[in-house]
Chains A and B, each alone.
Chain A
């Protein structure tokens, strides 16, 4: 189907189904139950899942295929966001011009950074990209560029946003004052109430989801193309390639630019969902996060980065919101002393301590599942496969690793 092999086709259909049905899948608990805390099916987080899925997918084209570890991909994310918000400021709240500009600008930016950074490989390449990203962050955060030309370019720490006195030449008299796609507002939602469950269908999410699916399709095609094969050979032995007379640089540069454009698109989509671009988006922690997402999910696999992105965003948004009050309500059935004891034990791992939980899980996964979540899935798959042939399946052996 669509020029995909049967296996890839099945994977693509599975991802499409998961994305389209996300509002159901991510809201497994009834609205008023105690477990509703763990529901992730609200527009903001669903949008983040697919947007950071695109970001990680693009990063994987560079890191997963060529093995070049870029530590500065957040710069492209930020550039994409700024470009999109500038289109709102100059034209109107329609997201299309912004997204197109985001891809173009981040592509050019990636070409510049890539051309210089790719002169080195290994750790030197990582450090160069990190340096460029930090430079971009500093420039954006203090609006150096803007001060240089005497106007606002990034609006510094406040973040670039649309003001009522901006030109917005296409807005017209009664134009829509929220981000939209030819009249369909990104914030528009329909809520389906079903026996205690509440499912939110948000236009912004489905807009991102359609782009996400298109990008996933493109990623599969890149992975399976001769170009993709070339990138893999760069990873396995670049020296041998060079000795056989193949110039690998155009390929790595193309991969760098493509993944920069994915990141720019993701940044543009972030600004499409929420019309503000902040310099923090370029901070090195964001660059680190996308590396984590890719490794956590499984670098070099099609599905891995998407799973990793979802995993990290889930922790960031759900675990960080569990405060002591919530903990107390969970353990309210215990006697007072026990309740306080349990809360004290769990307290460091939730709320602002979610990084700690994530760190522990990351360690466990990297140690016991070097191939990331995808490897975990494969192991489970193999277990089930064996289960059919073996007479006695081991109970409880389904859990990955320890």
Chain B
């Protein structure tokens, strides 16, 4: 039972205990993330360097994550001189010779982001604190990418974003330690605008169904911006929860709204479900305002196309990269990926592969793993031979600028992998914007200063 008599001895003991507890913090004064005095977080000391692959292995974007993981393992093989070298031979920089990075063999650890910011950050923190990674690569959701990017900035390591398409990643949430190779919502809108005008005409009313998070919001904003610029009207825009599964209640009102185009700002499993249901509800065969009803999916991926099957026939969208491109970088990567895994790589796999090589190359050119040196080597870096043509890593916002693909669901696919056909390669000039563009945080957005950590 309770016995709270205050004795002199008890008081003395408590006092001493409290004093000890209060003085404990003095042990830590001055120290920070790591005690090693090499000037930056997780400086590799032995003959190896560890990098982290943080991808969704569960949740609605798991398919993309697993494909990213395959590509990242392939990239590590190529960096360590195993396999056929893939894009190392077509890359315009010739610093990587298959001996790892700066002579250190590349090792990697993997983690599951579960497409949740919290889980992703926990996984990234354990990679930084336990496994001592110098760089984290991958991810398949903009919300997660922004969260992990912030963490890497605080910890003082490099973050190479995987599949993240929100304007915010290199817009209002841009960070000095974070880099994005993938394209973004604005670029999709800018590339799709003229094609939509040509194919569907100027007099259309669009109905937006949008995934309710940073990517969906900026994607919708970008699509409305570019479609209203060609004279379209926006009938309605509706936010849907991520991972909803059933979209029928959102699709039923579309036909009654007076719209004649449905824009699906969905991705991954969500897009597969919403598109399939839209087709089942007969939207493809419907007539509205005297025109054929049309569906647009601004961001496509091979894995989604495979999931949606015959429903994607004829539907327009945009992509960062496709394995059917004719250049030699694409051919080399597709060949070595295909030989190892028996299937062509997806766009997100390509981005993660390229990001790993770009990081390795930047470290080699900088001669150091220190994040600030690597960032400096990547800023304003121009390269070619990685499947996207000449590409620039812009210094102001750490966004890659390159051509964007406009694609369409193939009418007569011959295998399960060529379900998308390339309509147009939109030149980079058409999708370039100013670093202080209003959709990217305006003049206020800044990278901050790069962080070396310890």
Tell me the A residues contacting B by CB distance below 8 Å.
Answer: 1-5, 39, 42-45, 48, 138, 141-142, 156-159, 161, 164-165, 178, 181, 184-185, 187-191, 200-201, 203, 206, 210, 221, 224-226, 274, 276, 278, 280-281, 317, 320-321, 323, 325, 351-352
The binding surface of chain A is classed by DSSP as: mixed
Task: Give the top 8 A-B pairs by smallest Cβ distance, nearest first.
Answer: A157-B213, A278-B117, A44-B125, A42-B130, A191-B35, A203-B28, A352-B57, A280-B116
Across the interface, A210 reaches (CB within 8 A) one of B13, B21, B27, B116, namely: B21
| B14 CB to nearest chain A CB (Å) | 7
Contact A274 B125 (CB under 8 A): yes
| B277 CB to nearest chain A CB (Å) | 21
Across the interface, B110 reaches (CB within 8 A) one of A165, A184, A321, namely: A321
Contact A320 B241 (CB under 8 A): no
Q: Is B444 an interface residue (CB 8 A)?
A: yes
Bitwise, B153-175 to A at CB < 8 A (1) or not (0) is 01100000000000010000100
Contact A225 B150 (CB under 8 A): no
Which of B1-9, B347-355, B358-366, B367-375 lies at the interface with chain A?
B1-9
Contact B213 A280 (CB under 8 A): no
Q: Is B270 an interface residue (CB 8 A)?
A: no
Docked Cα-Cα span, A351 to B168, in Å, equals 31
With A158-B213, A276-B147 as given contacts, are A352 and B33 in contact (CB-CB < 8 Å)? no
Q: Is B266 an interface residue (CB 8 A)?
A: no
Query: Closest chain A residue to B130 by CB distance?
Result: A42
With A188-B31, A274-B125 as given contacts, are A142 and B14 in contact (CB-CB < 8 Å)? no
Q: Is B308 an interface residue (CB 8 A)?
A: no
With A159-B147, A190-B31 as given contacts, are A352 and B25 in contact (CB-CB < 8 Å)? no
When distances are taken between beta carbons in the complex, the residues of chain B under 8 Å from A3 are 2-5, 10
Bitwise, B122-166 to A at CB < 8 A (1) or not (0) is 110110011000000000001100110011001100000000000
When distances are taken between beta carbons in the complex, the residues of chain A under 8 Å from B117 are 157-159, 276, 278, 280
With A210-B21, A321-B109 as given contacts, are A1 and B13 in contact (CB-CB < 8 Å)? yes
When distances are taken between beta carbons in the complex, the residues of chain B under 8 Å from A206 are 24-25
Interface residues of B in 208-227 (CB under 8 A from A): 212-214
With A178-B154, A210-B21, A274-B151 as given contacts, are A187 and B33 in contact (CB-CB < 8 Å)? yes
Q: Is B448 an interface residue (CB 8 A)?
A: yes
Query: Closest chain A residue to B66 by CB distance?
Result: A352
| A39 CB to nearest chain B CB (Å) | 7
| B373 CB to nearest chain A CB (Å) | 21
Contact A161 B1 (CB under 8 A): no
Docked Cα-Cα span, A190 to B118, in Å, equals 26
When distances are taken between beta carbons in the complex, the residues of chain A under 8 Å from B248 are none
Q: Is B34 an interface residue (CB 8 A)?
A: yes
Contact A45 B2 (CB under 8 A): no
Docked Cα-Cα span, A30 to B212, in Å, equals 46
When distances are taken between beta carbons in the complex, the residues of chain B under 8 Å from A39 are 130
Query: Closest chain A residue to B3 by CB distance?
Result: A3
Q: Is B121 an interface residue (CB 8 A)?
A: yes
When distances are taken between beta carbons in the complex, the residues of chain B under 8 Å from A1 are 10, 13
Docked Cα-Cα span, A181 to B123, in Å, equals 25
Across the interface, B242 reaches (CB within 8 A) one of A157, A165, A276, A323, namely: A157
Q: Is B29 an interface residue (CB 8 A)?
A: yes
When distances are taken between beta carbons in the complex, the residues of chain A under 8 Å from B2 are 3, 221, 224-226
Bitwise, B15-38 to A at CB < 8 A (1) or not (0) is 000000100110111111111100
| B66 CB to nearest chain A CB (Å) | 9
Contact A5 B3 (CB under 8 A): yes
When distances are taken between beta carbons in the complex, the residues of chain A under 8 Å from B21 are 210
Across the interface, A189 reaches (CB within 8 A) one of B31, B142, B146, namely: B31
Across the interface, A159 reaches (CB within 8 A) one of B31, B111, B118, namely: B118
When distances are taken between beta carbons in the complex, the residues of chain A under 8 Å from B31 are 188-190
With A190-B31, A280-B116, A352-B112 as given contacts, are A158 and B214 in contact (CB-CB < 8 Å)? yes
Contact B241 A142 (CB under 8 A): yes
Tell me the B residues contacting A by CB distance below 8 Å.
Answer: 1-5, 10, 13-14, 21, 24-25, 27-36, 57-58, 73, 108-112, 116-119, 121-123, 125-126, 129-130, 142-143, 146-147, 150-151, 154-155, 168, 173, 212-214, 239, 241-242, 444, 446, 448
Further pairs besides A188-B33, A325-B110: 7, Cβ < 8 Å: A43-B129, A158-B168, A158-B173, A158-B213, A184-B28, A206-B24, A225-B2
Docked Cα-Cα span, A185 to B173, in Å, equals 24
Contact A44 B122 (CB under 8 A): yes
Query: Closest chain A residue to B26 by CB distance?
Result: A184
When distances are taken between beta carbons in the complex, the residues of chain B under 8 Å from A221 are 2
Docked Cα-Cα span, A185 to B2, in Å, equals 37
When distances are taken between beta carbons in the complex, the residues of chain B under 8 Å from A185 are 28, 32
| B202 CB to nearest chain A CB (Å) | 33
Docked Cα-Cα span, A142 to B243, in Å, equals 13
| A47 CB to nearest chain B CB (Å) | 9
| A289 CB to nearest chain B CB (Å) | 12
When distances are taken between beta carbons in the complex, the residues of chain A under 8 Å from B448 are 164
Query: Closest chain B residue to A143 by CB distance?
Result: B212
Docked Cα-Cα span, A276 to B14, in Å, equals 35
When distances are taken between beta carbons in the complex, the residues of chain A under 8 Å from B142 are 158
Docked Cα-Cα span, A395 to B117, in Å, equals 48
Across the interface, B122 reaches (CB within 8 A) one of A48, A159, A351, namely: A48
When distances are taken between beta carbons in the complex, the residues of chain B under 8 Å from A4 are 3
With A2-B14, A157-B214 as given contacts, are A188 and B32 in contact (CB-CB < 8 Å)? yes
Contact B32 A187 (CB under 8 A): yes
Across the interface, A321 reaches (CB within 8 A) one of B27, B111, B214, namely: B111
Contact A2 B129 (CB under 8 A): no
Docked Cα-Cα span, A201 to B126, in Å, equals 15
Contact A164 B446 (CB under 8 A): yes
Docked Cα-Cα span, A1 to B25, in Å, equals 25
Across the interface, B1 reaches (CB within 8 A) one of A48, A165, A201, A224, namely: A224
Docked Cα-Cα span, A341 to B112, in Å, equals 24
Docked Cα-Cα span, A278 to B27, in Å, equals 32
Contact A157 B143 (CB under 8 A): yes
When distances are taken between beta carbons in the complex, the residues of chain B under 8 Å from A351 are 57, 110, 112
| A401 CB to nearest chain B CB (Å) | 30
Contact A158 B109 (CB under 8 A): no
When distances are taken between beta carbons in the complex, the residues of chain B under 8 Å from A43 are 129
When distances are taken between beta carbons in the complex, the residues of chain A under 8 Å from B125 are 44, 274
Docked Cα-Cα span, A191 to B36, in Å, equals 8
Contact A323 B35 (CB under 8 A): no
Contact A320 B112 (CB under 8 A): yes
Docked Cα-Cα span, A95 to B112, in Å, equals 29
Q: List 9 A-B contacts (CB under 8 A).
A: A2-B10, A3-B5, A44-B125, A158-B117, A189-B34, A276-B151, A280-B117, A317-B122, A320-B111
Docked Cα-Cα span, A39 to B131, in Å, equals 11
Docked Cα-Cα span, A1 to B73, in Å, equals 57
Docked Cα-Cα span, A48 to B27, in Å, equals 22
Across the interface, B35 reaches (CB within 8 A) one of A164, A190, A276, namely: A190
Across the interface, B27 reaches (CB within 8 A) one of A190, A191, A200, A320, namely: A190
Contact A190 B214 (CB under 8 A): no
When distances are taken between beta carbons in the complex, the residues of chain A under 8 Å from B116 are 278, 280
